[in-house]
Structure 1
């Protein structure tokens, strides 16, 4: 019905309404899209995800650790965000948005201004006030809670945001895996008691499992250490990938899983063998390392020990940590011992000379003028070799209780593949993983430091128990590529793909091909599919078009050609299949509906 024109303003309004009502969804065509694919792999891109995201035109580097998201990549990022948001909402969390710039006073109040170190990006405003660019928001959310919450009746409450975070990485690398700026979902819950916190923690664990399952990722939740976040009780969620920076440990006979920092090392030996050798002092002038000692004296490495001297918890004192020669010190475990200073600090050469009188390559527990802690596996050794605390000398044939008493014993080492599982079921395997999520039970660490309290059910003030739940949203995109690619490019699943279908007409300039292509595009989009129509002119060969769509990783490809139309067919190929197949034009829509997982 025409709009009655009463005056000029009314006429303009009618034109706008008419324009809006007649407007159709714009066709996603490559000619109108920023298709920024590249043939060559950038020389500074090491991991597959970084290489392919650059080549597929998903991101562009601005500076070290800083990237611009191009339209192709942003479509994927937004899909990850949408799934995260849906599952967080379904779990009862409330979305908020906090400032990225945070005042130093809050971090000083929690004690993390000094603790966090150089990774915290700090700045000073024109009034000489200190701020930081937030890598995380525990202080800000706790400040919000102490100002907005006053009664246990308002609890529990769980609030989350999806926001850009900042970290001054010393060596940004691997593209989006370790950058200075990244997109993160961080959530924080508040509770009147630990029992309530545990309920929400379990709910978040399930929500995270749902998120990564919906994203189509092969992942593993593992027990973890809380690190600088603080608190007790946490799990990491790792995407399994050979390029991962983290070692994750799991049992082949149970559900036990942990990261390498947290995994308990159980000795394979049950008892200590009897002594068979005499104690003897040996000159070892060319044995400054375990490797040199083993090679020079034909010793089994498992019959040697490393003596590592660190700063003790008591100021000005040193303490020795002793592990088997073929094992690695777990610095997280060591720093959590009450006798050891945290963070862990190794003694300098000068400190060793002053306290012991020998260099690092000649140290051992026998006649050591320092307290020491030995690993569980060291307690079960016999006939082993140790430094003599005299330069260029070692004791061979050392045995506990005969030559020296057994000192304090603790779990000091990293596990190795084949160790017994701590739960007594099966043995441990180790794989590489990319951490994409981490959930923490913070307890009252922040509420006590920042005096975040409410009135409890008994009318008395109670410090709030907190939970913290993070997902590296932008890292998820890179991790998915690390897990799903081949020599031709990315292999997206239907959930994450920037477009579900690549529609490629050959000789689009001809009437028959154009008409069939446009009609099919309209049918597919009307059915809810996301379609990219490659309408590049004939200067771009079919081979280049096919290669670009495989590089980008679009899961389904439909080709429209004169020859196919003459036979009543279109050509379909899945990204995961090597050969295309002919589909009758009349059956294409129903065929695609059966193929695309929505």
Structure 2
């Protein structure tokens, strides 16, 4: 079977909205998607073909793992523990019942099996589910997105960890078949038992996920979580504490110039208010505080920075720029690097004054020294000490250990135990986005063969000439019968426009049926990813053999 372009809806564009990301603009130009409203996108026929091929690969890998397919509703009750956050979409039905749309179907999967899993004989279980997720977060171009999830239920930790490894291998095979490499990285996730999950990230310069990666030991984590090693103490020796006048000097840069110290000798003081009250937080002057690390370390997601000058004045008795730990009446937590400063410059908690020669533990009490700073390029890895790199990427999948919302079973000895669960999510739109970002050039998309919406485009230069159409249809039928997806470009357009569109939509092979080649009894071919050209006798068997040869060639 083949598709005629003249009867297919494939609207290509020369331009796309400037505010869209480069890969999104390419997806718009190539006729994969269209924006309906900000954050709402629909997939056009070409985009659906690409998604369907990715879905087929995922389904094959899930079947190989023994996952059983289920169907779950997109709506779930907006009750506590149903995986819905305040930022998710909520609605009320005619009976006053509240429902919501969230980024996962985990709570629905747990409810689905909850009444039927009672014994160790029922476990383990692995299900998979195709559906849609909803996420209203900064940086997400799609509020609603196609999602393929799997859910595992286990009697013991060993079984869960084994499935975790198997699922990661399956995702590795999915990405390899889509022409992508990846790294795994620890990322924050409040739905997980320990507050973090394992993300599958495709490194790309234009990605929106920042990952700290150690090229030595392979450790990788979201930039907001990455373990950072000690940078070592700044130069200097211990001194006596001394209060000095610093009129109008409120910044680290100003202190460096006024006192002749390095930024590493200055300590910045921040105030945070949370559910347990107010705390002071210290970091070195040349470092930045990472709030995600602070919230996780103190176990308080409600922590907010004090930004109001009057509030800061009431707590510390000093304005911003002069806050310091000496004499501060609230608990103080500090980044590990602060401990190593022999003689620090800190705020004097008095306008126009700073202390010099301050030493943590001697001049002010610290509740604990934690890893609280934001990682930078070249910082030492917290695992091995080698320099860390900051890479950008696209998060395409996530694996996390979750609670089973009170689900229990009886073990072999009749003891009641909690069911352990795992959630595995693959965002199909992100995977498609990563493929487009990885596989494109100045002319358009360069699809990997296995997920190309069409393997072959046949450009008929003069569709008004019966012989050209007749030859093209014979070739298209033969190629389609061999299992290839073929798009026959029989539009009344110029050859230049046909070549342009064929490269834009990225079919791995383009065949050209024109007067000159047919006069020689040939059809011309061009391979998309390297521009290799060939000519084949205009006979179905010869063209079939030649096209398959082009497709099977190793891709660089």
TM interval, shorter chain, is: over 0.9
Distance 1:392 1:551, change over 3 A: farther
Match of 2:164 among 188, 194, 201: 201
**1:170-181 to 2 correspondences below 5 Å:** 177-181=140-144
Equivalent residue number for residue 132 of structure 2: 164
Deviation for aligned residue 1:509: 2.2
1:95 aligns with 2:95: no
Shift in Å at residue 297 of structure 1?
5.6
The answer to whether structure 1 residue 571 and structure 2 residue 520 are counterparts is no
Partner residue of 1:545?
498
What is the CA–CA distance in structure 2 between the aligned matches of 1:286 and 1:484, rounded to whole Å?
54
Report deviation, 1:578. 4.5
Verify the 8 A CA contact 1:168 1:180 in the aligned structure 2: yes
SS of residue in 1 equivalent to 2:188: coil
Equivalent position of 2:101 in the other structure: 133
Query: Which position in structure 2 is the counterpart of 1:6?
Result: none
The match for 1:364 is 324
DSSP 3-state at the match of 2:133? strand
Question: Within 1, Cα distance between the matches of 2:29 and 2:183?
Answer: 29
SS, match of residue 426 in structure 1: coil
The answer to whether the 8 Å contact 2:331/2:366 transfers is no
Q: Which residue of 2 aligns with 1:334?
A: 294
From the superposition, tell whether residues 287 and 244 of structure 1 become closer, same or farther in structure 2 (CA, over 3 Å): farther
- The structure-2 alpha-carbon separation of the partners of 1:187 and 1:392, relative to structure 1 and needing over 3 Å to count, comes to farther
Work out whether 1:307 is the aligned partner of 2:282: no
C-alpha contact 2:190 2:196 (8 A) present in aligned 1: no
1:21 aligns with none
Map of 1:523 onto structure 2: 478
> Which stretch shifts more, 152-161 or 328-337?
328-337
How far did residue 220 of structure 1 move? 1.0
Contact 2:526 2:533 (8 Å CA) reproduced: yes
Quote the offset at 1:401 in angstroms.
5.4
Q: 1:379 aligns with which of 339, 353, 357?
A: 339
How far apart, in 1, do the equivalents of 2:459 and 2:428 lie? 31
Distance (whole Å) between structure 2 residues aligned to residue 420 and residue 112 of structure 1: 36
Q: CA deviation at 1:182?
A: 0.6
Q: Which moved more, 1:251-260 or 1:432-441?
A: 251-260
CA contact (8 A) 1:143 1:452 kept: no
Do structure 1's residue 456 and structure 2's residue 418 form an aligned pair? no
Match of 1:343 among 295, 302, 311: 302
Offset of residue 427 of structure 1: 2.4
Q: Distance in 1 between the 2:284 and 2:217 partners?
A: 27
Secondary structure in 2 aligned to 1:485? coil
TM-score normalised to the size of structure 2?
0.93
1:61-72 matches, within 5 Å, as: 61-72=35-46
2:250 alignment partner in structure 1 = 288
Work out the CA distance in 2 between the residues paired with 1:366 and 1:425: 32
Distance 1:278 1:298 in 2: 17
Once superposed, what is the RMSD of the aligned Cα atoms? Answer: 2.3
Provide, for residues 205-251 of structure 1, a one-character-per-residue CA deviation record: whole Å limited to 9, x for no partner: 11111111111112111123332444466310011112222111221
Aligned match of 2:443 in 467, 484, 488?
A: 488
1:434 corresponding residue in structure 2: 394
Over 3 Å counting, the alpha-carbon distance change for 1:102 and 1:111 in structure 2 is closer
Q: Once the two structures are superposed, what CA deviation does each residue of 1:28-74 show, in whole Å capped at 9, x if it has no partner?
A: 011000020011222332x1121011111111111111111110111
Query: Could you tell me how far apart the structure 1 residues matched to 2:163 and 2:23 are?
Result: 34
3-state SS of 2:129 partner? strand
Per the alignment, in what secondary structure is the counterpart of residue 311 of structure 1?
strand
**In the aligned structure 2, how far is the partner of 1:233 from the partner of 1:167?**
18
Give the CA deviation at 1:494.
0.9
Name the residue aligned to 2:513: 560
Q: Secondary structure at the match of 2:377?
A: coil
Residue 414, structure 1, aligned to residue 366, structure 2: no
TM-score by length of 1: 0.86
8 Å Cα contact 1:275/1:399 also seen in 2? no
User: Offset of 1:503 from its aligned partner?
Assistant: 0.8
Distance 1:582 1:279, change over 3 A: farther
In the aligned structure 2, how far is the partner of 1:343 from the partner of 1:595?
58
Partner residue, 2:47: 73
User: Which whole-Å CA distance do the structure 1 matches of 2:427 and 2:304 have between them?
Assistant: 30
User: For 2:536 and 2:248, how far apart are their aligned partners in 1?
Assistant: 74
Q: What per-residue deviation string (whole Å, max 9, x for no partner) do you get for residues 535-576 of structure 1? A: 012xx1111111111111222111111111222332222222
SS in 1 for 2:3: coil
Aligned to 1:190, the other structure's residue is in SS state strand
* Equivalent runs, 1:185-224 vs 2, <5 Å: 185-224=148-187
Partner in structure 1 of residue 421 of structure 2:
466
Write out per-residue CA displacement over residues 366-416 of structure 1, whole angstroms, 9 at most, x where no aligned residue.
Answer: 232222111111211233322222223323343445644565211112222
Please report how far the alpha carbon of residue 155 of structure 1 lies from its aligned counterpart in structure 2 after TM superposition.
0.3
Does the residue aligned with 1:470 lie in a helix, a strand or coil?
A: strand
Structure 1: any 5+ residue segments left out of the alignment?
A: 1-24
Count of aligned pairs between the two proteins: 550
